[in-house]
Structure 1
Amino acid sequence: MSPPSSPASSPGGGSPPTAFDPTSAFARSTGLSLLVLLLAAALARPDLALLAVPLVVHAAWGWWRRPDPSLPDPTVVTVPQRVGITEGEVVDLGLHVPDLPAHHWLSAQWTGLVQTTWDPPLGAVVDSAPDGTVTVGLEPARWGRYETGHPGLQVVDSSGSWRAELRPASSLVTVRPLAATLHGASGVARPIGLTGAHTSSVRGDGTQLADIREYRTGDRLRRINWRVTSRTQRLHVTSTFTERDTDVLVVTDTLRDLPDPHQTSTSLDATVRAVAAISQHYIGFGDRVAVHDLGRRLGHVRAATGPRQMRLILEVLSRTVRELPDHVALRPVASVRSGTLVFFCSPLLDDRIIDQLVRLRQLGGEVIAVDTMPAALGTIETLRGSRNRAFLDEAWVLRRLQRDEVLAGVERLGIPVTAWRGPTSLGSVLLAMEAARSAPRRTVGR
C-alpha cells in the first residue's frame, strides 16, 4: 500500500497534533542516575557511581534525542478511510505519519473487532517505518460492515525516551457477500420479456429448433434449409423459437434473525447468501432482477439487469443491519407482473409471511419458497445434546413440527418449498418446474 503524499489526501483521516512527552523509562533513568550519584557522593563511594553509568548514558542519549520544539508535531492519516471487498479477500489497513522525525518507531494496535483475522495477530505491529507507514492485513470472517474503531498509535524515538500518543481515524470496511454459482436450470418455461436467454414458445428468430416447413412468402433467405430443399426439390426453411428474458423478484423475510445452535450461520446469513446466488444466476441469463425486503434490515432494489445491477445488489446486501430488533412492521409486496419468477427467502415461521407467500401465488407469480431456517434448529439431534433447563430446545422442536404441517399445505397449493443448503439447493426444483411447465398437456373437450 502506497502512503498518501500528505494528510489532505485522506479527508478526515488526520489526528490533532500531539506533543512529545517523556516516557517513564527516561524519567527512571534520569531520577535513578541522580539518586545513585548523590548517594555515591554522600558515602564517598566512587565504585557506587559506576552503577549509574548505564542510567546516565541512557538519560544523556534521551536528552540529546529530545524533539526539536520548532518542528511541527506529528499527525497521522488512516488509509484507506472506506473500502469495499468481497468475502475471502484481505484488505491492508495502514497508518501514515507524513512528518515522522528520523530514527523514530511506530507502534500500532487495532482492537475491538470480532470474527476477523489479523496479520500480524491481534493487529499489533511495531516498525521502524522509514517511510512513516505501518500496515496490517485484515480478513473479515463474513459479509457485513466492520468499523475498526480508533487504533492506538505511538511514535517513539530510538532511545525510548520520548513518546507521542496519536489518535488515528477509524476505517469502515464493507464486505460484500460472495455470490456462489447456482447449479441447475433456470426454472423459466414461459418468459415474459422481449430479449434474453430463455427459450419461449413463440416462433421467430432464435437458436432453438422448432421445425422444418415449406417456404412461405416473407421468410428470410438465410433460413432456407438447403439439405432438405435438395432432397425434396421444394424450398424448405428452418423455424426456431425466440429467446426472451423474464422478471425475477427476490423477496426476503428479515423480520427475525434465527440463531444456529452450532454457531455457524443464522437465518439472515442464509438469506443474504441465497439472494446473492439467485441474483447472479438470473442476471447471467439477462433477466431483470429486483429485491424486496418484508422487514427493515435490507434495502429495496428496483428491477434491472446487467453487471451494474449485480454490484448494486451485493452492495445492498453488505449493508444489511443485524442489530435491529425482531418483530418489526411488515412491508408487503404491492403487486407482481403475471409470470414473474418469485423466490421467497424466509424461515417461514410467521403466519403473516405465509399469507404473503400465498398472496404472491394468487397474483400470478411463479413462486418458489426458499427455507432459510437453520438446519440444526429444533431438531431431535440438537435436543439430545441439550442442557438447557429452560426447555427452549424442546419448544423449538414443537415449533418446527407445527411449521412442517404449514409447509405441507403450502406445497399442496402448488408452491415448491426447498431448504437453502448452498448453491445446489435449487437445482432439482428449478429443473422440475421447467420440465413440468414445458410438458404437453391434454385438453378435455365438452
Structure 2
Amino acid sequence: MTGPTAPVPPSTEPESTAGWAPTPALGRAVLLAGLLLVAGVLLGRVDLVVLAAPFALGTAYALRRRPTTLPQVWITAGDDAPLVEGGEVSAAVSVGNPDAVDYDLVVVRSRVSPWLRITRAGFAGADPADDAPPADAPPADAPPAAGTPAGGRRSPADRPFVTSVPAAAAVDLELAGRALRWGRHPVGPAGARVATAGGLLVSRAVLTEPVGVRVYPRTEPFEAVEAMPRAAGLVGAHHSRRPGEGGELAGVRIFAPGDRLRRVDWRVSLRARQLHVAATLSDRDAEVVVLLDVLAEAGRSGGVDGSASVLDTTVRATAAIAEHYLHRGDRVSLVEYGPGARRLRAATGRRQYLTVLEWLLDVRAEASQHEPYDQVFGPQQLSSDALVVVLTPLLDERSAQMLARLARSGRFVVAVDTLPTNLRPPKDRGWAEVAYRLWRLDRETMIGQLREHGVPVVRWAGAGSLDQVLRDVARLATAPRVGSR
C-alpha cells in the first residue's frame, strides 16, 4: 500500500527509544510464554515447555531489530502559484521512516480548515479500495458537521488513514479539494503513530505544526469612469486642469521660447502669419485611498458560491477597486478604520497589487469602545487630493461620524454600502422583526443625513458601482468656488 518512496529530510540527532512503548500483544505473549515455562518446570511437564517455545521464539524474532528513532511528519501545502477563491488546492502530509526497520502500520490523521473543502484524500500510488472510507463513515450527502461553513460537507480528511512505510523511505497522504473563502487557512496539525516489530511496539504520537494556505480574494469585475476629482501626480492617465505635456487639447496660443516644433499648428500659423502652437493639459495620476470599516461584521459567509458577509464584500470590493486603479497607473493605499488602524502606503504597479492581496488576508472585524478616528487619520497621513473610497456597512454610529468629518475637511469621499441585502432578523425572538424594521428606518435616515453633508452613499454592485458617483464628485471638484471678499 506504500506509494513511491520519497527522500526523507535530513534526520536530526537520533532520539532514544523512550518514544516507543510495548503493545498489549507483547504483554500477552510474554505473559503466556512465562506461565507455560513456569508451569512446565514446576510440574515437570515437557509438553508445556514445548508449547511455550513458539511464543517465546516468535516474540524474540520480532524484537530482534528494534527501532531507534521516531517517525518524521511534515506538511507540504501545494505549489507556489497564487491561489484564488474557488481554485483547486492541494497539500500533502508526509510520513518519513529514517530508521533501518520497516514500519508495519502507520496511522495518519490531519486537521484541515473547513474553508478548504477536501474532496480527495489518499496515499500516492495506493489501491483506491485500501483508502475507501470505513463502514461507519457518514455518507457524502450527510448534513455538515458543527463548525463547517454553510453548505459544507464532511471532509474525507476527517478520518484516519492507514499505510506502511519501508525503511529509509516516505509516503505522502495527498489532499486535494477546493478553496471556498479568502484568508489564511491552516492545513494541520497532523499526527502519526507507528506500529512495528510485528505489532509488538508502538510509537507515541508524532505531531507537526500546521501550515498556512494563502487564499486570495476573488476579484470581482469592476470598471470605473476616468473622471477623478483631482489628479495630483506628475504622470498618469487622468487629464488635469494644469497645462503640460499630455493628450488633451487645451487651445492654441502664440509660439514662445521653449515650445517644441512638433507642437506647431501650421494651419493657424499660416492664417495668422505667426507661429502658433497647440496647448495641452498634462496627464497626471491620482491617489486612491480605500478605507475599510472593520468595526462590525454582519451576515453569514457561505464561501465563494454562497452568501457574502460584510467582510467578504469589503475584501472582494477592495481587491477589485485596487486592481482597476493600479492597472491605470494610479497610486492606491489601504487603511483600516478600527482599533488596529493598519495602513498600507500608497504605491503603483503590479507589485503593489500583490501587496494589497497579501494585506487583505489579515482583515478582521474588531469591536472597539474607543473612537479610532484620531488614530487612523493622524497629521499628514491622508492627502487632501486623494479620492477616499470608504467601504462600510454603516452599522456603527462612529462610521457615519467619520464620513461626515472627512467631508467637512474638504476631502473627496465616496461611501460604499457593504451591508448584505439578504440580511434578515432572527424569527424566534419575539420583537426582533419590529426592532429590525425600526433599525432599518434609522439607518436610512443616517444615510440621508450623510448625503446632505455631501457624502454620496452607493451600494456595491460590482462593475459600474461607482461610475455615476465619480462623475458627480469630479464635476463638483471642477466647479468654480464662490469666495467671500
Structure 2 counterpart of 1:79: 76
The counterpart of 2:384, out of the listed 314, 320, 338, is 338
| 2:269 is the alignment partner of 1:270 | no
Residue 195 (structure 1) shift? 1.7
Which ranges of structure 2 fall in alignment gaps of 5 or more residues? 38-50, 122-154
The counterpart of 2:281, out of the listed 236, 241, 246, is 241
Residue 21 (structure 1) shift? 4.6
Alignment of 1:271-290 (within 5 A): 271-290=314-333
Q: CA 1:294–1:442 in structure 2 vs 1: closer, same or farther (change >3 Å)?
A: closer
Structure 2 counterpart of 1:354: 400
* Kept after mapping to 1: 8 A contact 2:236/2:330: yes
The counterpart of 1:5, out of the listed 5, 9, 17, is 9
Residue 190 (structure 1) shift? 2.5
Larger deviation: 361-370 or 387-396? 387-396
Secondary structure, counterpart of 1:192 in structure 2: coil
Q: CA 1:321–1:415 in structure 2 vs 1: closer, same or farther (change >3 Å)?
A: closer
Q: CA 1:295–1:235 in structure 2 vs 1: closer, same or farther (change >3 Å)?
A: same
> For residues 272 and 219 of structure 2, what CA distance do their matches in structure 1 show?
52
Secondary structure, counterpart of 1:303 in structure 2: strand
Structure 2 counterpart of 1:94: 93
Q: CA 1:82–1:442 in structure 2 vs 1: closer, same or farther (change >3 Å)?
A: closer
RMSD: 4.3
Could you give the per-residue CA deviations for residues 243-280 of structure 1, whole angstroms, max 9, x where no partner exists?
Answer: 11122222222111122498822212222222222222
The counterpart of 2:361, out of the listed 318, 324, 341, is 318
Structure 2 counterpart of 1:145: 184
Alignment of 1:35-54 (within 5 A): none
| 2:436 is the alignment partner of 1:400 | no
Residue 230 (structure 1) shift? 7.7
> For residues 395 and 65 of structure 2, what CA distance do their matches in structure 1 show?
68
> For residues 177 and 17 of structure 1, what CA distance do their matches in structure 2 show?
47
> For residues 72 and 20 of structure 1, what CA distance do their matches in structure 2 show?
9
Could you give the per-residue CA deviations for residues 289-313 of structure 1, whole angstroms, max 9, x where no partner exists?
Answer: 2222221366222223333332332
| 2:232 is the alignment partner of 1:192 | yes
Structure 2 counterpart of 1:224: 264
Residue 408 (structure 1) shift? 1.5
Q: CA 1:129–1:372 in structure 2 vs 1: closer, same or farther (change >3 Å)?
A: farther
Q: CA 1:139–1:65 in structure 2 vs 1: closer, same or farther (change >3 Å)?
A: farther
Give me the TM-score of the superposition, normalised by structure 1: 0.76
> For residues 232 and 151 of structure 1, what CA distance do their matches in structure 2 show?
85
4+ runs deviating over 6 angstroms: 1-4, 14-18, 31-34, 81-84, 227-234, 440-444
Residue 83 (structure 1) shift? 8.1
Residue 141 (structure 1) shift? 1.8
User: Counterpart amino acid of 1:271?
Assistant: T
Give me the TM-score of the superposition, normalised by structure 2: 0.70
| 2:207 is the alignment partner of 1:167 | yes
| 2:429 is the alignment partner of 1:371 | no
Structure 2 counterpart of 1:111: 111
Residue 341 (structure 1) shift? 0.3
Larger deviation: 243-252 or 427-436? 427-436
Secondary structure, counterpart of 2:189 in structure 1: coil
Structure 2 counterpart of 1:43: none
* Kept after mapping to 2: 8 A contact 1:419/1:425: yes
- Report sequence identity in percent: 29
Structure 1 counterpart of 2:370: 329
* Kept after mapping to 1: 8 A contact 2:332/2:347: yes
> For residues 201 and 257 of structure 2, what CA distance do their matches in structure 1 show?
94
> For residues 214 and 364 of structure 1, what CA distance do their matches in structure 2 show?
37
> For residues 331 and 151 of structure 1, what CA distance do their matches in structure 2 show?
40
Q: CA 1:232–1:404 in structure 2 vs 1: closer, same or farther (change >3 Å)?
A: same
Secondary structure, counterpart of 1:357 in structure 2: helix
> For residues 211 and 18 of structure 2, what CA distance do their matches in structure 1 show?
21
Residue 78 (structure 1) shift? 3.2
Which ranges of structure 1 fall in alignment gaps of 5 or more residues? 9-13, 39-51
* Kept after mapping to 1: 8 A contact 2:263/2:278: yes
